[in-house]
Every structure is written in C-alpha cells, then in structure tokens.
Amino acid sequence: MKTEEMMVELKDVKKHFYIRKNQTLKAVDGVSFSIKKGEMFGLVGESGCGKSTLGRTILRLYEPTEGFITFKDQIVHQANAQQKKELDRSMQMIFQDPYASLNPRSMVMDIIAEGLDVHRHLRGKERKERVWELLETVGLSKEHANRYPHEFSGGQRQRIGIARALALQPEFIVADEPISALDVSIQAQVVNLLQKLQREHGLTFLFIAHDLSMVRHISDRIGVMYLGKLVELTTSEQLYKKPLHPYTEALLSAIPIPDPDLEDKRKPILLKGEIPSPISPPSGCVFRTRCPKAMEKCAMMVPEMKEYEPGHYAACHLYDEKSNWDHDEVAMTRE
C-alpha cells in the first residue's frame, strides 16, 4: 500500500503516564496502524484499553512518550507554530459527552463559531451565514443558532458538536465514542449523519467505540485494542466473519444475532476477571490472564503483530503454527 494513500500513520506509538516513583501507567504501548484517506477506521476495546488516549495523542492533546504520528506525511509532534495551526484546522474531534462538551453559557452560534473566530476571523453576516450553513449540514436549522445547549436533546447536542467540528472544513475527525451517551433510538441517526458526512465531504474518521456491533456497521476497517496494545486489525467484514484473536472472538460472541435460530445457538464467551491494571500489565501477552486459549508460552513471549491473510493482522501465539490459522467456528455461527 502506497504511503501517499494514507492520511494518518502511527508507528510504535506509546503514551505512558508517570504516576509516581517506579510506577508508570502504560495507556498506549506500542501501537502501529495507518488510516487511509476517506476511510472510516473503527477502534474498539473495553474502557481503559487506551483507545481515547490514542485518539487524543493523534490530535496533539498529548505528547507521545515514544513513536511517531504522521498526518499527510508530516510528523504532528514536530510541527512548527504555523504547521500546528494548520493541523488544528485539519484535524478535529467529536467528543463523547454532548452535555459536558458544550459550554452551557454560550449560544449555539458562538459555540459553532469558536474555531471560525480563531482561525478565519469571520465577522457579522459572513460568520452568521457560515454557522447557519453548518447547522443545516447536521440536520438542524438556523433558528437553533440563538438558543443555549440546555434547550436541546442529547442527539441535537451531538449534532451541534459535529457542526463545531466541521466548521473549519477539517480533513480528519476523531470521533471519541460519539454515540455512547445517547439513547439507542438516537444512535443510528448520529451514525447515519457521520456516514453521510464521510461520503459527501470526503472526510476521514477515527471512530472510537467500546461496542463492536455499531462499529462493524460503519467502519471500513477495525482495530481492536486491549490494555494499550493493538491485538487485531482487518476489514470490518473479515473481522466479523473470521476473527483471529481470542479477545475479538469474545467481543463478537457477546453481540446478539438478529436471526432467532442463530441467536439460540450463540455461545457467548465469558472472559474471566477484570481487565488488568495498565500500571502492571501481565508479562508476555497482555490478554493471557483472561484468555480461554492461553498457553505456557503466552506468559513468556510478547506476541508480534503479524499479517496472516492479506490485510488481516493479529498478535497471538495461536497462529505461530500455520496449521492453526483456519478456525471458522464464529464464521459459521454468523453467516
């Protein structure tokens, strides 16, 4: 795959937080992947796996401890003042909580125009018309511009957050669990809006979620994270049909199947115990303390991320032997 097709590339990115002497929280611990231009890349994993920290590190809200992040071939953490300004325009974020992320004392007009005021210095009629246009893009109307956040429902607030993210015509958006605080009935509407924006504006998304069922429907490719590490990466279709990593299998097995016959046969894989602390992750494979397929070598050797089929990567010792690749149980129950 050519580098020029990529919008964002991560190479062995680590983000560690130093808690106190001899204690380091390894929130992100050596993650590498690329996001193609125009792609909806889903990043999933349980809370605390480091996915939001990674999203924030890409957007320069955190400095990586090690590794490189490039946006259109430019290393984002080595940008000069002018380049930082351009990166701030080109890369935006949609936040999880549409209640906390909007200033309750500001009118929608000013919330959406925040970036325009700083970067574009729009004034008067021009500013007003740009905000109205953005409100219409996200399915609201210009009458909403003169109201305050508390006058809106959760779904409408998230639309305001999306309009704010779009104001500077970004190329790349990190959507950090944008639907998890919303009612189920509203989630699909917001997801449809994001897909429409991806299509019509050619946007590239990193869509962060803990729910694999929703991510599957909207993502072109999906990365699965566990305890600061990427454990599997492939297309959405391939991940669902033929997951390789035992953690992905467990996440998928928890999703109800709409077909009643298949749903009766579904056997959820119950993971034992809690996700370990990223301050003292297990040796070898970080998933080994909960993995139903763990072997002796899993405690001793860190599994490398390898490509087992074209574009399908996993980090698991089960596939060290080629004969172990073909395990179609999950595929059979879901097709």
Region from 18-26, 69-77, 258-266, 286-294 binding ligand SF4, contact rule CB under 6 A: 286-294
Which is closer to ligand SF4, CB of 93 or CB of 294?
294
Three-state DSSP string of 166-231: HCCCCCEEEEECCCCCCCHHHHHHHHHHHHHHHHHHCCEEEEEECCHHHHHHHCCEEEEEECCEEE
Please report whether residue 298 would count as binding ligand SF4 according to CB under 6 A: yes
Please report whether residue 316 would count as binding ligand SF4 according to CB under 6 A: yes
Q: Given candidates 295, 305, 325, 334, which one binds ligand SF4 under the rule CB under 6 A? A: 295
Region from 169-177, 189-197, 264-272, 290-298 binding ligand SF4, contact rule CB under 6 A: 290-298
CA dist 165 and 169 (Å) reads 8
Please report whether residue 303 would count as binding ligand SF4 according to CB under 6 A: yes
The four Cα atoms 309, 312, 27, 83 give a dihedral, to 10 degrees, of 120
Burial class (CB in 10 A: 0-12, 13-18, 19+), 20: exposed
Side-chain-side CA neighbours of residue 47 (13 Å): 3
CA dist 14 and 295 (Å) reads 27
Please report whether residue 275 would count as binding ligand SF4 according to CB under 6 A: no
Region from 11-19, 33-41, 83-91, 281-289 binding ligand SF4, contact rule CB under 6 A: 281-289
Please report whether residue 287 would count as binding ligand SF4 according to CB under 6 A: yes
Please report whether residue 294 would count as binding ligand SF4 according to CB under 6 A: yes
Site for ligand SF4 in 213-272 (CB under 6 A): 245-246
How does DSSP assign 265-297, residue by residue? Answer: H----PPPSPPPPTTSPPSSSTTTTT-TT--GG
Site for ligand SF4 in 29-88 (CB under 6 A): none
Which is closer to ligand SF4, CB of 15 or CB of 288?
288
Judged by the rule CB under 6 A, the positions of this chain that interact with ligand SF4 are: 245-246, 285, 287-288, 291, 293-295, 298, 303, 316-318
